[in-house]
A and B are shown apart, each in its own frame.
Chain A
Amino acid sequence: MALQRVRLDQLRRRSADEIARIVQAIRRARTLPRLAYHVKRHARKMGLGSVEAYVAALQHHGARRDLRLFTYLRTSDRLPFWELVAPDGATVLYSQERRQVWSFFRPDDPDARMAKAEAWWIEVVAQAHGWRFEEYWRWKR
């Protein structure tokens, strides 16, 4: 079964509260493992000149209201990951297994990256009561 369909089935078995807790954990993240490693790799691209600025940007990102929520499975072990992606492509990436933010970065070509994700990721959309899971989504709306 394709990874996207497996992930969709997993989501349908989760309660709305479980998903809400995951989203809340992502939004409230204050740091991430291997912080210096990620700062070195991504901060310059994001115009952030220090560890403190990178962490502040992560926290600001989590508070944004214009983010789209996606989830998918890593191929080798099928561990679930989540991303909260801003319109400019900046994303915070969260490991559901570890309950930790895994990375925070702005892709070089957000549109190309998201186009690749369309056949792999599920979009999770908040509704008045619960969540809607979109197998077919497009980055450009």
Chain B
Amino acid sequence: MEAVTPLEQYRLYLESVEEESPHTPASEYLELLSPGEALDLLTIRDRLSTMSLSPAEQRELARLDELLMKHQRLVVDNIPHFADEPRTRWWWHLHEGPQVREEALAAAQE
């Protein structure tokens, strides 16, 4: 079986959404990610947060995180808010709005 790294799978999810969404009617936008896939996407992001990434991989992760922010409605509308997750794992708190990422990044720099 061909190995797919968590970063590659994160990219496959988010780039496929980004590529498909311009061709998708607004009424079908939510179909670009299922609830079960949304859970997969965020648990992949969990794994990435625990991995040691090269500077190039970190830049790629930041680019993909921007796509996640752009398409956050696909997460928010598909799965419940897991409020018990630490604030550092901002991707579980997108229900509260896009500021959760900036707050987590700012806290990490303090």
A interface, CB within 8 angstroms of B: 3, 33-34, 37, 40-42, 44-47, 72, 74-77, 81, 83, 91, 93, 102-103, 105, 107-109, 112-113, 116-117, 120
CB-based nearest A residue for B73: A76
User: Is the interface on chain B under 10, 10 to 19, 20 to 34, or 35 or more residues?
Assistant: 20 to 34
The residue that A74 contacts in the complex, of B6, B32, B40, B78, with Cβ under 8 A, is: B78
Neighbouring B residues of A76 by C-beta, 8 Å: 30, 76-78
Give 3 nearest A-B pairs by CB, closest first: A47-B1, A76-B77, A112-B43
- Mask: chain B, 22-36; 1 = CB below 8 Å from A; 0 = not: 000000001110111
A42 to B34, CA, bound (A): 13
B80 touches A40 (CB 8 A): no
Count the A-B residue pairs with Cβ separation under 8 angstroms: how many? Answer: 83
B interface residues, Cβ below 8 angstroms from A: 1-2, 4, 6, 9, 12-13, 16, 20, 30-32, 34-37, 39-40, 42-44, 46-47, 76-80, 82
Instruction: Report chain B residues within 8 Å CB of A120.
Output: 79-80
Known: A41-B12, A108-B44. 4 other contacts (CB 8 A): A40-B12, A44-B4, A45-B9, A107-B40
* CA distance in complex: A33, B78 (Å): 18
Q: How far is the CA of A83 from the CA of B38 in the complex (A)?
A: 14
A37→B18 CA distance, assembly (Å): 12
Q: Is the CB of B12 within 8 A of A93?
A: no
